[in-house]
Amino acid sequence: MRHLLLMCAFACAAFQASACTSAVISGKATRDGRPLLWKQRDTGTLENKLVYHTDGKFAFLSIHDLDDTSAAQAFMGSNAAGFSIINTASYNLQYPKYKGDMDEEGILMKRALATCATLADFEALLLETSGKRGVEANFGVIDAEGGAAYYEANPYTYKKFDANDSLVAPQGYLLRTNFSASGIPEKGQGYIRYQTETDLFQWGFLGDGLSVSFILNEAATCLRHSLTGVDLASGPIPETADHPAIVNFSDFIPRYSTTASLIVHGVKKGEDPRLTTLWTVLGSPLATPVLPLWVRYADQIPSQFFSAGGGPAPLNDAALRLRSRFFPLKTPEGKYYLDFARVMNRQGTGTLQKVKGLDKSILEDGGRLETLMQTRNVTANDVRQYYQGMMKGMKDFFTSCGVQF
């Protein structure tokens, strides 16, 4: 009963913009023995962009707020050494009063991407910055040596949770939303999403195993609610997109504030770490197709992922315009109410239905290319041709939804 009351309290709490959902998955729990790292990013800054950095020890790709003109804060990404990092905000860690600036997780992650190759490197960075970093977060990390762990860190200390340790992660994976396992339960947030995520991953693990396609199709776009038992995708589904079907949309994994989703598919020990694959959704997963990106082929990534002259990244801009149709009530409380007919309907014209159709072909073709990269020489031209075909598919998708791209 106490657990239920806590969950109800969190369900009624004020809207929290930094409400990310994440997973750290060791190779023990995946279909192909390669680690996975996932973050569904929620933030009050809806416009996001991809940035390619070359001014550190390692080149890296990362997601940033559009208004971060100097690209000073990276919120998820991967580098040429195969080191990848994400975070979720934590609200329940205890620590002595810190007098410096807080909310510096993005600064720390950018530094980690520029300088770290392994989990050990990141741990050294955490020791070096003790007492000087304004963070309260769960950092998820994988590397090219098979490492996979969460670090629950405050300005002074951290606690490691190793996904390869059977005593910590019996099934080889760990999950986090907006609380730390080492913190005070009553002060945490995101318990409803965490329970939804826990149920999903348990069935995924016991089924075909955890994979990129499982996370993208089952977790990132999940329309189940663990507290109320509602599953929007199970019906009743609206007949058409023409007649609004407004539903309450609080505490689902995809949310009003969801701005991007990243699934990092790591490499096995001995494989080229530059072939770590960043399956990137630069917008709401309900309105944005996925595309695989590689640091090795960063110069081939379509320009639509990047900001030019301070303007919106074209892909993110199109996705935001499409997503805005889901939330027709343009008042502060409108973020809680979704026009589900725009997302799914019996005619199959819902945005999510169209996204899933395109994602299927992108995953299949991208997966084949990913495999070829590990078994034979793939040229930059091969990657360029793949992107050309996939971007045509994206353009057709947005056009079919009535959005210019």
Integer Cα distance of 365 and 251 in angstroms: 33
The owner of tokens 């030019």 is 308
Residue 350 carries which side chain, given as an amino acid letter?
A: G
Distances, alpha carbon 25 to alpha carbons 332, 333, 396, in Å: 36, 35, 34
The three-point CA angle 32-36-38 to 5° equals 145
Predicted local confidence at residue 17, as pLDDT: 59
Integer Cα distance of 206 and 271 in angstroms: 28
Integer Cα distance of 173 and 16 in angstroms: 26
What is the residue extent of each domain of the chain? 21-400
CATH of domain 21-400: 3.60.60.10
Integer Cα distance of 299 and 291 in angstroms: 15
Predicted local confidence at residue 152, as pLDDT: 98
Distances, alpha carbon 213 to alpha carbons 67, 104, 140, in Å: 31, 32, 20
The whole-number mean pLDDT for each consecutive block of 10 residues of the chain, a chain of 405 residues, reads 43 59 97 97 97 98 97 98 98 93 97 98 98 98 98 98 98 98 96 98 93 97 97 94 95 97 96 95 98 97 96 97 96 96 97 97 95 89 96 97 94
Pairing of strands 148-153, 137-142: antiparallel
Integer Cα distance of 159 and 182 in angstroms: 8
CB atoms within 10 A of CB 110: 24
Tally: H helices and E strands in the chain: 9, 15
Helix (H) or strand (E) holding 41: strand 36-42
Q: In degrees to the nearest 10, what's the CA dihedral of 209, 210, 216, 222?
A: 80
- Total residue length of the chain: 405
Integer Cα distance of 262 and 282 in angstroms: 8
The DSSP output letter for 98 is: P
The DSSP output letter for 252 is: -
